[in-house]
Amino acid sequence: MALTLLRHAPLPKENEHRYNGWTDLDIDPALFDTQKVALLTQQKFDIIYTSDLVRCQQTLEMMGMNEYITDERLREVRFKDEIEGLNFNEIEKLDSYKSSYIEEKESWHEYICEESQEAFEARIKDFLEDLPTNQEILICSHGGTLQKMMAILGYAKNKIAYLEHIRIDNVI
């Protein structure tokens, strides 16, 4: 099986650099760079999966890909209600914030996320285990979800940009 992982298109500027987990936000069509996905639109995929959040579905539709399967397991990690939609500068001003939280990935995750790292990883593993074999698969999802998926598959990458895609061959 080969997986092509695609991060959704950019959000409107006022929503960028914010912790937008499960908030259902539209992409900004004016920021959609067709050149970044030109190769993908030429490729044939056996199956296309996407997060059930609209920004991922809109990305595929802007690419002319209208046949896809939505799966809520492909959502971003669930942030706490008081964190959702904030940027880092706003989080730093919260009474509950402590600078020590950013010293370790685990403490930062625990502070900002409603969903534990274990639950997030289990959700992504569950999705991956359900994938059919011997297929050419495109997955359109969110930055954190794709990072977690790549880590599970042993493909380390710090960040994936909007409309960036990564192909992983020989996934078992």
What are the residue boundaries of the structural domains of the chain, listed by start?
Answer: 2-76+116-168
**For the segment 70-102, what is each residue's pLDDT rounded down to a tens digit?**
999 999 999 999 999 999 999 999 999 999 999
**For the segment 6-44, what is each residue's pLDDT rounded down to a tens digit?**
999 999 999 989 999 999 999 999 999 999 999 999 999
Average pLDDT over residues 146-172: 89
Q: Cα separations (Å) of 37 from 7, 26, 105, 153?
A: 11, 18, 31, 23
What is the second-level CATH architecture of the domain 2-76+116-168? 3-Layer(aba) Sandwich (3.40)
pTM: 0.94
The gap from C-alpha 36 to its chain's centroid, in whole angstroms, comes to: 17
pLDDT of residue 146: 97
Q: How confident is the model at residue 159 (pLDDT cuts 50, 70, 90)?
A: confident
What is the rounded distance in angstroms from the CA atom of residue 43 to the CA atom of residue 129?
Answer: 24
pLDDT of residue 172: 66
**2, 138 Cβ separation under 8 angstroms:** no
Asked whether the CA dihedral 127, 46, 34, 30 is positive or negative, the reply is: negative
